[in-house]
Amino acid sequence: MRRWAESGGWRLEVGGRGYAWRAWVIFVAFILGLASSTSAQTRGRQQPPRPPRPRNTAPPVPGPERVRVVINGGVQLAPGSFGQDFSLTKNVEATPITTDLSLTPGGYIDAGARVRVTRTLSIGAVAFLGASRADGTVEAQIPHPFYFNRPRAISGDLAQLGHTEKGVHLELAYPVSVAKGREFTVFGGPSYISARQALVTDVTYTDSYPYDSAAYSTATTAKVSAAAFGVNAGADVTWRLSRSVRAGVLLRYTWAPLSLTAGSGNVVDLHAGGLQVAGGLRILMQKRLPRPARPTAPARPRR
């Protein structure tokens, strides 16, 4: 069974073959658990008992960040429009069908991690999932059942043709500035995007004798998938919430050219991706270094 659930103004497909969604939930939970575990480790819960801290010995301090877990949720703005132009055979004549579709903004989540490889550069991998829909119109020329060359024009609205994207962004990140707990990082790299789009494969119509006109009823659609490599680039601004947690706002543009085939001659060129605006958490996993001992103050002479 396939059903749709509204979620914050955009749709996610669940149920049926929605294993990808469940996998993402598990993946995000795993990342959160990993972050929590790491954070706990940094607090020493799982560490063997430490020797009593010298009274004058400073507690450990965070060392250089090694791994940053990134979790975001947001909106992917529409990358634009696309159309279909194909032909079927009805009433023993060619039946041209065209669609004009625009992708609407949709929900978007991602999760991943960056690993510091130099003092300033990190590499990361972010898995993402987005869902939106395509709305637009469909037009067709339906041949007359009795006579050649007497097509009847029909048209109608198309709404909520499901569109999902998932994939992986590889990133090379570079912190441009760090000041007062606020970081500004730019990143970019290749992406691998798989898109799944509902496309029109046929139209149904009603007509009656003498069949001089016809009225659009519905469009038959089929979900078609394709994947391609693309690119991504963006910027990330974070604010410190705690020693190991940051809040972040991300702006990313991704782009990948796809070719979706819904049937013979029914091929759609589509640009997957778009401008993503998201916010989330950054969980830092870093070495905890012992705090350097405080210098002992000289004893003041008694009066």
Residues that bind other proteins (CB under 8 A): 91-92, 144-148, 209-211
Nearer to other proteins, 88 or 134 (CB): 88
Nearer to other proteins, 4 or 147 (CB): 147
- Distance in Å from the first CA to the final CA of the chain: 88
User: CA 243, CA 181: separation in Å to the nearest integer?
Assistant: 10
Q: Quickly list DSSP for 34-59.
A: HHHHHHHHHTTTTSPPPPPPPTTPPP
In the complex, minimum distance from the CB of residue 89 to other proteins, in angstroms, rounded to a whole number: 12
Q: Contact 14/8 with Cβ under 8 angstroms?
A: no
User: CA 132, CA 81: separation in Å to the nearest integer?
Assistant: 13
Q: What is the DSSP code (8-state) at residue 137?
A: E
Q: What is the DSSP code (8-state) at residue 146?
A: S
In the complex, minimum distance from the CB of residue 219 to other proteins, in angstroms, rounded to a whole number: 23
Angle at 73 between CA 168 and CA 13, to 5 degrees: 75
Q: Name residues whose C-beta falls within 8 Å of residue 123's C-beta, 6 or more positions apart in sequence.
A: 114, 115, 117, 170, 171, 172, 173
Nearer to other proteins, 8 or 210 (CB): 210
Nearer to other proteins, 100 or 207 (CB): 207
In the complex, minimum distance from the CB of residue 147 to other proteins, in angstroms, rounded to a whole number: 7
Nearer to other proteins, 90 or 133 (CB): 90
In the numeric block, the tokens 């990133």 are attached to 171
Nearer to other proteins, 65 or 207 (CB): 207
In the complex, minimum distance from the CB of residue 143 to other proteins, in angstroms, rounded to a whole number: 9
The amino acid occupying position 236 is: D
In the numeric block, the tokens 């510091």 are attached to 116
In the complex, minimum distance from the CB of residue 152 to other proteins, in angstroms, rounded to a whole number: 14
Task: Return the structure tokens found at 300.
Answer: 């003041």
In the complex, minimum distance from the CB of residue 221 to other proteins, in angstroms, rounded to a whole number: 27
